[in-house]
Amino acid sequence: MTAELVRGQNHPLVGPDLQVHVTAERPVIAGAALCDAEGRTREGWLGHPGAAGPPGVSPAAGSRESHRITLALDEVPGEAESVRIWLTLTPGGPVRFGAIAAPRIAVLGPDGVPWAGYSLTGLDGESAVTAVELYRRAGAWKVRAVGQGYAGGLSALCADHGLPDERARSLAEGILASVAAPAGVPGPPTRAAAPGTAAAPGGASARPEPQPGARVDYRHPTRPGAGSQAGSARNEAPQAGAAPNEGPPDGAQREEAPQPVAGDASGWSMEERLYNQVWGMFEDLARTVAAYRGAVAFADERLEKEIDEVLADPRTRTGPAADAARERARARQAELIARAQQALDRDLDQLAAESGVVEPALPAAFAGWDNPVWHGYRVPRSAPSALRLGDLSLPERIGLRIPMLVRLPLERGLWIDSGRGGQPAAEVIDAEELRREAGLLATAVAGRLLAVHPPGGFTVHVIDAAGSAAHTLRPLLDSGLLREAPARGAAGVSGVLGRLTERVDLVQLAVRNRAADALPPGLDTSDQLLLVHDFPHGFDDGAITQLRYLADEGPAVGVHLLLVADREDAADFGPLLDPLWRSLLRITPIPDDHVADPWVRHQWTYEPPHVPQGSAILPRVLGTLAEAVRARPGGRHV
Element holding 19 (H helix, E strand): strand 17-35
**What pLDDT is recorded for position 16?**
85
What is the CATH number for 450? 3.40.50
By three-state DSSP, how is residue 547 classified? helix
Question: Could you give the CA distance from residue 436 to residue 511 in angstroms, rounded to a whole number?
Answer: 40
Question: Could you give the CA distance from residue 533 to residue 151 in angstroms, rounded to a whole number?
Answer: 49
Asked whether residue 249 is assigned to any structural domain, the reply reads no
Instruction: Say if residue 17's pLDDT is above 80.
Output: yes
Domain end marker among 361, 394, 418: 361
Report the number of distinct structural domains present in the chain.
3
| pLDDT, tens only, 578-622 | 889 999 999 999 999 888 876 677 889 999 999 998 899 999 999
Element holding 404 (H helix, E strand): strand 402-407
Q: Are residues 448 and 568 in the same domain?
A: yes
Q: Are residues 553 and 411 in the same domain?
A: yes
Q: Where are the alpha helices (DSSP H) in 470-531?
A: 474-479, 489-512
Helix-strand-coil split of the chain, %, nearest 5: 40, 20, 40
Q: Are residues 274 and 158 in the same domain?
A: no
How sure is the predictor about 634, in pLDDT bands with cuts at 50, 70 and 90?
A: low
| pLDDT, tens only, 180-238 | 533 333 333 332 222 223 223 223 333 333 333 333 343 444 444 433 333 333 333 33
Q: CA angle 282-285-289, nearest 5°?
A: 145
Asked whether residue 62 is assigned to any structural domain, the reply reads yes
Lowest-confidence pick of 50-59, 247-256, 514-523, 598-607: 247-256
Question: Could you give the CA distance from residue 546 to residue 402 in angstroms, rounded to a whole number?
Answer: 36
Question: What single string gives the DSSP state of each residue in 341-384?
Answer: HHHHHHHHHHHHHHHHHHHHH--GGGS-TTSGGGTT----SS--
Asked whether residue 199 is assigned to any structural domain, the reply reads no
| pLDDT, tens only, 124-152 | 889 999 999 999 887 788 898 898 899 88
- % of residues, the chain, pLDDT over 90: 44
How sure is the predictor about 387, in pLDDT bands with cuts at 50, 70 and 90?
A: very high
Q: Are residues 275 and 132 in the same domain?
A: no
Residues sharing a CB contact under 8 Å with residue 263, sequence separation 6 or more, in sequence order: 101, 102, 119, 121, 270, 273, 274, 277, 361
* Prior bond of 536 cis (ω within 30°): yes
Q: Are residues 416 and 354 in the same domain?
A: no
Question: Could you give the CA distance from residue 544 to residue 569 in angstroms, rounded to a whole number?
Answer: 14
The DSSP call for residue 572 is G
The closest of 201, 177, 64, 179 to 124, measured between CA atoms, is 201
**What pLDDT is recorded for position 197?**
30
For β-strands 559-565 and 414-417, DSSP reports them as parallel
Residues sharing a CB contact under 8 Å with residue 91, sequence separation 6 or more, in sequence order: 176, 180, 181
Asked whether residue 203 is assigned to any structural domain, the reply reads no
Instruction: Say if residue 628's pLDDT is above 70.
Output: yes
Residues sharing a CB contact under 8 Å with residue 186, sequence separation 6 or more, in sequence order: none
Instruction: Say if residue 326's pLDDT is above 60.
Output: yes
- CB of 551 within 8 A of CB of 561? yes
By three-state DSSP, how is residue 515 classified? coil
User: What's the length of the chain?
Assistant: 638
Terminal CA-to-CA distance of the chain, rounded, Å?
42
Average pLDDT, stretch 342-354? 93
Q: Are residues 124 and 59 in the same domain?
A: yes
Q: Which of 171-175, 193-197, 386-390 shows the highest mean pLDDT?
A: 386-390
What is the CATH number for 127? 2.60.60.30
**What pLDDT is recorded for position 502?**
92
Question: Could you give the CA distance from residue 353 to residue 402 in angstroms, rounded to a whole number?
Answer: 12
How sure is the predictor about 242, in pLDDT bands with cuts at 50, 70 and 90?
A: very low
Q: Higher model confidence: residue 418 or residue 249?
A: 418
Domain span holding position 173: 3-179
Q: Are residues 420 and 352 in the same domain?
A: no
Cβ atoms within 10 Å of 276's Cβ, excluding its own: 24
**What pLDDT is recorded for position 180?**
55
- CB of 254 within 8 A of CB of 192? no
For residue 564, CA distances in Å to 224, 345, 402, 484, 601 come to 41, 39, 25, 19, 27
| pLDDT, tens only, 105-121 | 999 887 777 888 888 98
Instruction: Say if residue 281's pLDDT is above 50.
Output: yes
Question: Could you give the CA distance from residue 442 to residue 416 in angstroms, rounded to a whole number?
Answer: 7
Q: Are residues 438 and 300 in the same domain?
A: no
* Prior bond of 575 cis (ω within 30°): no
Question: 12 has which bridge partners?
Answer: 142
How sure is the predictor about 504, in pLDDT bands with cuts at 50, 70 and 90?
A: very high
**What pLDDT is recorded for position 576?**
81
Question: What single string gives the DSSP state of each residue in 531-543?
Answer: EEEEETTT--HHH
Asked whether residue 498 is assigned to any structural domain, the reply reads yes
**What pLDDT is recorded for position 596?**
83
**What pLDDT is recorded for position 4?**
80
Asked whether residue 598 is assigned to any structural domain, the reply reads yes
Residues sharing a CB contact under 8 Å with residue 175, sequence separation 6 or more, in sequence order: 29, 31, 48, 49, 50, 88, 154
Question: Could you give the CA distance from residue 365 to residue 263 in angstroms, rounded to a whole number?
Answer: 15
Q: Are residues 319 and 356 in the same domain?
A: yes
Q: Are residues 611 and 571 in the same domain?
A: yes
Q: Are residues 427 and 352 in the same domain?
A: no
Average pLDDT, stretch 618-632? 93
Q: Are residues 357 and 390 in the same domain?
A: no
Instruction: Say if residue 168's pLDDT is above 70.
Output: yes
Q: Higher model confidence: residue 9 or residue 506?
A: 506
Cβ atoms within 10 Å of 223's Cβ, excluding its own: 22
Asked whether residue 224 is assigned to any structural domain, the reply reads no
Question: Could you give the CA distance from residue 161 to residue 163 in angstroms, rounded to a whole number?
Answer: 6
- CB of 29 within 8 A of CB of 86? no
Instruction: Say if residue 284's pLDDT is above 70.
Output: yes
Mean pLDDT, rounded, of the chain: 82
Asked whether residue 226 is assigned to any structural domain, the reply reads no
Instruction: Say if residue 383's pLDDT is above 90.
Output: yes
Instruction: Say if residue 246's pLDDT is above 70.
Output: no
Q: HSE, CB side, 13 Å, CA atoms: give it for residue 453.
A: 21
Question: Could you give the CA distance from residue 165 to residue 149 in angstroms, rounded to a whole number?
Answer: 18
Instruction: Say if residue 174's pLDDT is above 70.
Output: yes
